[in-house]
Chain A
């Protein structure tokens, strides 16, 4: 099913890592100037009491995409996908960033939270861009037919170390609750992403020091991802 399975993979995992981060939740931050032309506009981002609002981690992810914009334009992705789209800030920003491509690029976004899916849809509409939004666990239901097809995957996962019970519980806590070392959801995400990424595909994922980003990179390379960038951004949680 996957394109030329077994061929040398050329994927690049770009990972953000905040070191020196205080334990606990990311703080809400303001988008820095220069970000707004190419990204979703905060006042147009929809919200819901049970949906994660754009925070410093969301901005860091969009910054990483922005700094790779030239490469992304060269890549001319056919399919881009966000897992855990929340407010829709990230996928909307990506669609805006790549709008000039006129390459027919299509966008998909998933979230386990139905309110998040609806909020994302509203945010996309407010910016005049489109993604098909699906309520599902990670990429469940898409993994077979999308195997090897997605060129860009972006994820700001629930990564905060928490007691296991908080995972997947109802309410806003499931937006960030990552269980042991913040890795419980991430560990399910990685093999799923590996399935759907195309040979030239890139994954952008937010991670904390606590998540052991080097180990994440090693896991991805064991799964066939031979190259990765590790962008340490010690500053992005300070705001």
Chain B
């Protein structure tokens, strides 16, 4: 599971108000490089919950990866920024698409219900009495 997916996932357990964002507890994660596509990031960024993304990176022990506040678009999409090591767009790309959480859990913020992530796959299934 990448952090992009974490950003899109909520808990539907009975008793949850928003069920979002899920608290990430990662026991194991890996990174895999993929090509950066600035247009893709540009289209996606307005849909990203920045706070949830930052919280997820902190949960992985990467407090320096992203700043608390989202940098201005002019900075993120500045000409040539994609080619600059450590630029905002590179960091955002890395956070969203290159980190794969392999083992851990996602915890519902409202009910503390824990959804396991096993072999990279989050399991969001609920029991009948939880729906």
A residues whose Cβ falls under 8 Å from a Cβ of B: 78, 102-106, 108, 112, 114, 117-118, 121, 130, 132-137, 140-142, 144-146, 149
Contacts and interface: CB of A to CB of B under 8 A. Distances in A.
A130 B97 CA distance: 11
Contacts of A140: 12, 124, 126
Task: Classify the secondary structure of A's interface with B.
Answer: loop
B114 interface: no
A112 B19 CA distance: 20
B125 A145 contact: no
Interface residues of B, number: 32
B119 interface: yes
B121 A114 contact: yes
Interface string B90-111: 0000000100000000000000
Contacts, number: 77
Given A78-B43, A104-B40, A132-B4, A145 B121 contact: no
B1 A132 contact: yes
Query: Which of B1, B9, B43, B120 has the most CB atoms of chain A within a 10 A radius of its CB?
Result: B9
Contacts of A105: 40
A118 B34 CA distance: 22
B124 A135 contact: yes
A118 B119 contact: yes
Interface in B1-44: 1-2, 4-5, 7-12, 19-20, 32, 34-35, 37, 39-41, 43-44
